[in-house]
Amino acid sequence: MFRIFGLSFFITVIALVVAFFYGGPQALVLTLILGILEVSLSFDNAVINATVLQRMSHFWQRMFLTVGVLIAVFGMRLVFPLAIVWITAGLDPVKAMDLALNPPADGAKYFADGSASYETLITAAHPQIAAFGGMFLLMLFLDFIFDGERELTWLSWVERPLQKIGELDRFPIVVALVALVVTGTLAAHTVDESKTVFIAGILGTVTYLVVNGLGEFFHVEEMEEEAERARSGPSELAKVTGKAAFFLFLYLEVLDASFSFDGVIGAFAITADPIIIALGLGFIGAMFVRSLTVYLVEKGTLSEYVYLEHGAHWAIGALAGILLFSIHTEVPEVVTGLIGVVLILAALGSSIVRNRREGDGAEGDAPVSAPQQIDA
C-alpha cells in the first residue's frame, strides 16, 4: 500500500509546503480543498483508466505514470486554462499569465478599464469546453452500453435491451450526434454559441473515434502478426506495445483531459489563482488518481468486483450529460461528484452481493486475473 501511495503522500506534503510559502495559510487551505475535491470526484476516472492500463505493457504503464502525470499536472491543470485565455481572448502567453496572477481587487469580474478578468475569460469558454469533453465521454459511454458482445451486465433490465439495439451498425454515433443537435439547439443561448457548441462537439466526437479507432486497429493488427509468428514456430510473444499501446496512451490522456474539464472549471468557484489550482488539482489530485489506478490494476480489483467497470461507465454517461446540460444551466460541482460516487458505490455493493451469492462459483463465471505489479 505504501509503495503505491507513498509518492502521492510525499508530493502532497511538498505541494502544501509550496502553497504555504506562495500564499500563506489561505493558499495552503485552498490547495488542500482542491486536492480533496479532485480525488473525491475522480474515482470513476481511476476505474476507467485501470480498465485500459491493464491491457498495456509495463513500459507503457510506466509512461502513463510518469510522462502522463506531467501532462496531467502541467498540461491540463496549468497550461490548459492559460491556453484558453490565449486563444479566446487573443492574448499572448505572458499577458495571460500576468492576468491570471493579478486579478481585479475584491474578486471583481472586470478591471477598472472594463477588461475581463482571467476567471471571466475561462468561464466564457465553458460552452466549447463542455461540448468537447461531454461528447468525448458520451461516445465512451455509448460504445460500452451498446456493446452487444459484452456478456456480463449490471443493470440488465436496461443494458440487455440497449445491447440488442446496439447491433445496429454505428448506432452510438447516431445517438451522440442527436444529443449534440439537441444540445446545440436548445442549450446554447445565442446563434454564435450554438455554432461554437456544434464545432466543439463534433471535434470531441471525431477525437474519440480517431484515437480509439487507431488504438483498436493497431491492436488487432499486432495480434494477427503475433498469431502468424506463433504458427511459424516458437518465438517471444508480443504484448500490447508499439503503435497499439501508443494510441492507447493517447486515448488515456485525452480521456483524463475530458474528465478534468469540469474539475478545472469548477476550481474557479474556489480560487482563480493558476498556481493554487495546479498544486491542488495537479500535484495532489492527479497523483492520487494515478496511485488509485495502479492499486486497482495490481490488486485485480476490477476482476474481483465485476460491476465496478459498469458503474464507472454509467458515471461517465452521467458526467457527459451534466457537461452538455451545463452549457445552458450551471450545475454545482458537488452534484456531479455525488452522482459518480453513488453509481460507483452501488456497483461495488452489487459486486459484493454477487460474490457472496455465488461463492466459489463466481470465479468460474468471471475468472479473476492474476494481479500484476506496475513498476512506476
Residue 362 confidence (pLDDT): 44
> First CA to last CA across the chain, in angstroms?
13
Nearest to 144 by CA among 308, 294, 348, 338: 308
Residue indicated by cell numbers 491556453: 83
Q: How many CB atoms lie within 10 A of CB 361?
A: 9
Predicted local distance difference test score (pLDDT) of residue 232: 44
Q: Give me the pLDDT at residue 227, please.
A: 46
What's this model's pTM, rounded to 2 decimal places? 0.73
Exposure string for 189-221, b = 16+ CB within 10 A, e = fewer: eeeebbebbbebbbebbebbbebbebbeebbee
Cα–Cα distance, 212 to 140 (Å, whole number): 9
256 contacts 49 by C-beta, under 8 angstroms? yes
Question: Which pLDDT score is estimated for 180?
Answer: 92
pLDDT at res. 315: 85
Of 71, 81, 79, give the one whose Cα is nearest residue 256: 71
C-alpha closest to that of 217 among 253, 248, 260: 248
For 74, the grid coordinates are 502541467
* Domain residue limits, the chain: 2-358
Q: Please answer whether residues 290 and 7 qualify as being in contact, where contact means their C-beta atoms are separated by less than 8 angstroms.
A: no
Distance CA 56, CA 337 (A): 29
Tell me how far CA of residue 14 lies from CA of 18, 31, 47, 274, 277, in angstroms: 6, 11, 27, 17, 15
Over its length of 376 residues, how does the chain's per-residue pLDDT go in tens digits?
A: 667 788 888 989 999 999 999 888 888 988 888 888 777 667 777 887 888 787 777 788 788 777 877 777 777 777 777 777 777 667 777 777 777 777 776 666 777 666 777 777 777 878 888 888 889 889 989 988 888 777 888 888 888 898 888 888 788 899 999 999 998 888 767 888 888 899 989 998 998 888 777 666 655 454 444 444 444 444 333 455 667 778 778 877 777 776 776 667 667 667 767 788 888 888 888 888 888 888 888 877 778 888 888 888 898 888 888 888 888 888 776 677 678 778 888 988 998 888 888 775 544 444 444 455 565 5
pLDDT of residue 107: 63
Q: What is the pLDDT of residue 235?
A: 39
- Within 13 Å and on the Cβ side, how many CA atoms surround 345? 8
Q: How far apart are CA 371 and CA 301, in angstroms?
A: 9
Q: Which three cell numbers stand for residue 144?
A: 460500452
Cell of 242: 508499439
CB 253 within 8 A of CB 136: no
Three-state DSSP state, 368: coil
CA distance 158 to 142: 13
